[in-house]
């Protein structure tokens, strides 16, 4: 990624950061439930070794770890961003990953420096105004024609799925997990993102996997 260019504003630490810090030691226990959605995401993105990759809200590094298992070389550029220092400490153990502490609403990444950006299991935990800023930041850092991969919870369709979702919401407490970001389609369109692939997954967490491209002329302020 190129240096010396504008990055997003730095966001101060928050109570949410503290809560994610507290979960860092046990977070990987639930990652197998994310595995199917991440596999679908990476199948759709088809990341090449020479491409600069940014994973936002990386947590303990599930996306970079999945890329490494697929043969992404350690010398390839993979930057992992998260607001939680404890999560990042675990993500840093993935070979070839450069970790940066930062917030999705003010990414510490230069404008137009990324070929592929991912935000898996992130946008739904943000308040709606922050989700708008996060999508704007993801578009800002993408090069024209760059690809954005998202994973968010999908709306349940059956009584059983609705019961499981209700139980998950209670277990997640105040972190906003498993809430469906119903404003996402409009956000993507408003920020010049064209949806190329959309797939629903039901093995593990019920998820919508979306891959977009940044249309030329959009996203650089």
Check: CB of residue 180 under 8 Å from CB of residue 154.
yes
CA angle 14–30–108, rounded 5-degree value: 35
Q: Are strands 207-214 and 193-201 parallel, antiparallel or unpaired?
A: antiparallel
Q: Is the pLDDT of residue 109 over 60?
A: yes
Check: CB of residue 88 under 8 Å from CB of residue 58.
yes
With cut-offs at 50, 70 and 90, classify the pLDDT of residue 4: very low
3-state secondary structure of 118: strand
3-state helix, strand, coil in the chain (%, to 5): 40, 25, 35
- Residues 33-90: tens digit of each pLDDT: 899 999 999 999 999 999 999 999 999 999 999 999 999 998 998 999 999 999 999 9
Question: Which domains does the chain show, CATH number per domain?
Answer: 15-214 (3.40.50.150)
Measured distance CA(218)–CA(6) in Å, rounded: 16
With cut-offs at 50, 70 and 90, classify the pLDDT of residue 221: very low
DSSP per position, 65-113: HHHHHTT--TTS-EEEEES-HHHHHHHTTSTTEEEEE-BTTB-SS-TT-
- Residues 78-103: tens digit of each pLDDT: 999 999 999 999 999 999 999 999 99
- Residues 13-35: tens digit of each pLDDT: 555 667 767 777 777 888 888 99
With cut-offs at 50, 70 and 90, classify the pLDDT of residue 217: low
Q: Which residue has the higher pLDDT, 210 or 157?
A: 210
Structure tokens belonging to residue 50: 């020479």
- Residues 178-209: tens digit of each pLDDT: 688 999 999 999 999 999 999 999 888 899 99
């Amino acid at each position: 990624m190129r240096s010396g260019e504008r990055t997003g504003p730095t966001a101060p630490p928050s109570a949410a950061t503290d809560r994610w810090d507290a979960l860092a030691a046990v977070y990987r226990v639930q990652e197998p439930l994310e595995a199917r959605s991440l596999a679908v995401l990476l199948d759709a993105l088809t990341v090449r070794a020479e491409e600069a990759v940014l994973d936002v809200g990386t947590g303990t590094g599930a996306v970079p770890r999945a890329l490494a298992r697929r043969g992404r070389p350690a010398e390839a550029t993979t930057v992992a961003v998260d607001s939680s220092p404890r999560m990042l400490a675990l993500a840093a153990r993935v070979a070839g990953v450069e970790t940066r502490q930062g917030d999705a609403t003010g990414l510490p990444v230069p404008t137009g420096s990324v070929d592929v950006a991912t935000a898996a299991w992130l946008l739904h935990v943000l308040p709606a105004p922050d989700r708008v800023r996060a999508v704007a930041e993801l578009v800002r850092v993408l090069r024209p024609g760059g690809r954005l991969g998202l994973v968010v919870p999908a709306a349940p369709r059956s009584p059983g799925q609705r019961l499981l979702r209700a139980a998950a919401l209670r277990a997640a407490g105040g972190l906003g997990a498993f809430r469906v970001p119903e404003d996402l389609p409009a956000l993507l369109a408003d920020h010049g993102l064209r949806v190329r692939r959309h797939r629903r997954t039901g093995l593990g967490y019920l998820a919508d996997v979306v891959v977009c491209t940044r249309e030329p002329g959009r996203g650089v302020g």
